[in-house]
A and B are shown apart, each in its own frame.
Chain A
């Protein structure tokens, strides 16, 4: 923290010097990316648990439903407010060893379609990682991103967007 505060001071000073000096074009120079130091990303969540082979021939279970996990804008973090929904699924999966699950990841319509495919997949994988953390065998859980292609609510309101940023549980036997 102290280190960080010192750095902040240095940073502010630098910024002031730059402003005062009125300065030359600083760089959008492409070699300056080193400042962002993105090699040290902390691995905290979500991924890294390889997917097992696909199962495509299951029979959909239509009489058991679980609530969708909702996500924040441009986020694939399973919020604590959503945890109970995932835990309910984990309980069910532990009690029903024959059941397999596809977690479907969806996005609202904002952002590019291609990026939203990846974001939707990250959401599905985050839910899957949570399930695995609760003791569900990862081999029973597949993911499928629909990006922004299949909104639950086709409106363009904040409420529609909130409902569309979701993880859906599709169960198979």
Chain B
């Protein structure tokens, strides 16, 4: 029963995704790869589309994955699943626990969760980087080095840094995505 699977999977993701959109990426990567819903490349494409369209990345990703697996109903149950836990928690906080963050137990839990969340995002970036530019998805894979991929990555780092220096604010992700799309057409055609 794919709808139930989608709903429960995204309910699980929504309940543990502390810290917003980007935490969803490691969580969704696990679930989508394990369930065979997406390949690594499709996942990256979906993230790119979610980044370049309006709205929270997590909601966009849930809608996208749900729709790709089971059409409009899939999109609905996945989005509902990812939103429901935070809706209930916030309702509880707004109605009864206004002082939630002042409890020391809650702060202690968060102090343990925050470093884990950052670590998961970094580790996802690392494994994706290895598989994209060196072709290493797991140990034992014969490396297929991609020079255009690596040069594009280095170039993106350089323009992002330069932009920060000159404009004093981070570069727009949509600009980076558009730029890399053009570069991709030149490099990979």
The answer to whether A and B interact is no
